Amino acid sequence: MKLAIDGKLCSGHGRCYTLAPKVFDSDAEGYNAAVETQIDVPAGQEEAARMGMRMCPEKAITIVEE
Ligand code: F3S
C-alpha cells in the first residue's frame, strides 16, 4: 500500500502522524514530513494508515493505485 501526501493541501494539522506514528512523521514545523513523496505503508499498519488518511481535515493523503 502506497500513500501520497499533497504538499499544497497539508496544513500541519498533525492528525496523521498522531494517529499512525509508525506510518507518518512530522517535519520541524509540524507538517507531514513526506509531502510530495510517496510512503510505503509498513506491513500491519494499513488500518492505522487509513485512519490517519481519513482524519486529515484537508484530505491531503491519498492512496496511490499500483
Ligand atoms: Fe498534514 Fe493532514 Fe497530516 S494537514 S500534517 S497530512 S493530518
Position 43 scores a pLDDT of 96
The pLDDT of residue 36 is 85
pTM over 0.85: yes
- Which structural domain range is residue 10 located in? 2-65
In the chain, the number of structural domains is 1
CA of 17 relative to ligand 1 center, distance in Å: 8
- Please give all residues whose beta carbon lies within 6 A of any atom in ligand 1, as ranges: 5, 10-16, 31-32, 56, 58, 60-61
Give pLDDT, residue 19: 97
Q: Which CATH number characterizes residue 48's domain? A: 3.30.70.20
Å from CA of 66 to ligand 1 middle: 23
- Give pLDDT < 70 ranges for the chain: none
The pLDDT assigned to 37 comes to: 87
Q: What is the pLDDT of residue 66?
A: 73
Grid cell 504538499 in the structure block, residue: 7
**In which order are the strands placed within the sheet that holds 38-40?**
38-40, 2-5, 61-64
Q: What secondary structure letter does DSSP report for 6?
A: -
